[in-house]
Structure 1
């Protein structure tokens, strides 16, 4: 009997969103943090460009990291997890033709969704200064190109369309862009950096389809609990910096203890460290290839 084809990561993500329950996705920046998210029992994860840039090249999320480096991060993360990965595709790394390449490349690397935004290059983190956006027509072309790329290639990947127009052009322009993105083929709409709960409610009440909230601790958008985000009308809540911020604080504290001649506190037991890195799975698989001697 022929085995049934395995459901794609995008299909699993789509099915999860269709349940109507808020999808909460902590963000990973590398394969290790992806392992930790899956081990914690989440349904999916977000791959943050801010986190990947910090982990991979030690630089800010200011357009310094390249398409190839980001695609390789998608590949490495998807290789270690069974969860759907929603991946940051920044501006698509160029014009509409570059967007097509980005979407196809992310899909081949295993991403369940790719996020494309309307900032000019070099882009910036959505909660930092200096953001500028392209005109609305060019922004819509990016989403059209993303939709064309997945349809023509036959690859199953969801498109998250992000607009940063709220910053310099106001909420009305951001809503108009998001509406146009939906018409161009976007699956999930992401209006970045609303300034209040009232603005968040307008986003969810006035836009069609699935909506994404971006919970950046210390950023412009109010940090609301998941139940309240769901009540407002959001379908997906991403936490792009939570894990990286917690990890950096813990590393700073451990380094300070070592510098001052003290044993660091709060370390994982070595056995748990080995399990999370994957040694137990490795040892289990290794037994399949152990030497077999004649009886």
Structure 2
């Protein structure tokens, strides 16, 4: 029977790339001279949609994952609950995933455990923010307390030492601007985190204009790749980021927000119409659902692996 089995059916055609392949792919994106765009996903289905839309990598956002679980972005979801979701995302896709690891869920020891676990489930990179555990979403409140620089550098160094693959990337998120501490403090922290081993710097802002982000990029001088999240300064054209030498732009929470709007409208309409005939042409068909999740592959595999009787 083994000899009669087609060679291409010895493995699931939907099997993801190896963790090492994904880590290498993400590191190449960080170092590329071209501007890279990442899109947010918060479960396996949205991750598959992001991949099929053509994005080269996925941003697994803590806010979005927590929201999908009905929780607040204040470390109400444990790190194991978040990783359970992200593991399904990694299984469902082939492109690399950058996970928002919040503060690392504790001190250097928690970061070590987090990085090791991420390496085993196929995640390519983690972003750690220089705040205190438990954290609160950056857009809630004012002047949130930041971590001590030396202590956060220890988290970064511990994560670097714990990675199972040298290409696994650690992105250090600098919250100095968004917390109101100014440009000099942002640059001081970015330099310290870079020296501690961070592979890239994510600089964050909640202003409606990109001025301080572009000023940071100019003064930083590409000492390490710069990642940005233009949630608040969303009117800025991509050309401005290219001109500033930005490495990566993250569209951070739009799938989650879009799903809330779309499902709310649909539920209200069906409730009001007391029927579904009016919405059938506006939503995905079941055939599209089955195609996206590759039901045909399962049927083909059944013909190979199950006995004829």
Do they fold alike, i.e. is TM over 0.5?
yes
Q: How does 1:4-153 map to 2 (within 5 A)?
A: 8-55=21-68, 57-129=69-141, 131-150=144-163, 153=164
The Cα of 1:155 is off from its aligned counterpart by 5.3
For residues 166 and 204 of structure 2, the distance between their equivalents in structure 1, rounded to whole angstroms, comes to 27
Instruction: Report the secondary structure of 1:286's partner residue.
Output: helix
Q: Select which of 273, 277, 295 maps to 2:289.
A: 273
CA distance in 1, matches of 2:259, 2:300: 29
Using the alignment, how far apart are the partners of 1:197 and 1:154 within structure 2? 35
- Quote how far apart the aligned CAs of 1:62 are: 1.1
Secondary structure of the corresponding residue to residue 115 of structure 1: strand
CA deviations 1:29-63 (Å, max 9, x no partner) are 011101111111111111000111111x2112111
1:246-286 residue CA offsets vs partner (Å, 9 max, x unmatched) = 11111001000111025353211221122123323333333
1:12: Cα distance to partner? 1.1
Is residue 27–residue 168 contact of structure 2 (8 Å, CA) maintained in 1? no
Unaligned runs of 5+ in 1: none
Q: Could you tell me which of 197, 200, 224 is aligned with 1:185?
A: 197
1:54 counterpart SS class: helix
Contact 2:139/2:206 (<8 A) preserved? no
Partner of 1:121, secondary structure, is: coil
1:198 alignment partner in structure 2? 211
Q: Distance in 1 between matches of 2:215 and 2:104?
A: 28
Measured after TM superposition, the shift of residue 211 of structure 1 is: 0.7
Range moving further from structure 2, 173-182 or 15-24:
15-24
Encode CA deviations 1:150-197: one digit per residue, 9 max, x unaligned.
2xx455410010121221322221221111111111111011115332
TM-score (norm 2): 0.85
1:164 aligns with 2:162: no
Quick check: 1:226 aligned with 2:201? no
The answer (yes or no) to whether the contact 1:133–1:164 under 8 Å persists in 2 is yes
Contact residue 201 and residue 233 of structure 1 kept, 8 A: no
Does the 8 A contact of 2:205 with 2:213 survive in 1?
A: no
Using structure 1 for the length normalisation, give the TM-score. 0.89
2:225 equivalent to 1:213 = no
- Give 5+ residue unaligned stretches, structure 2: 1-16
- Decide which moves more: 180-189 or 264-273: 264-273
Count of aligned positions: 283
Contact 2:41 2:64 in 1 (8 A): yes
CA contact (8 A) 1:107 1:156 kept: no
Counterpart secondary structure, 1:234: coil
Q: Secondary structure at the match of 2:180?
A: helix
- Are residues 255 and 74 of structure 1, via their aligned partners in 2, closer, same or farther at CA, if it must alter by over 3 Å? same
Q: CA deviation at 1:79?
A: 0.8
Cα distance in 2 for residues equivalent to 1:206 and 1:192: 15
Q: CA deviation at 1:146?
A: 1.3
Query: 1:8 aligns to what SS in structure 2?
Result: helix
Contact 2:32–2:247 (CA under 8 A) maintained in structure 1: no
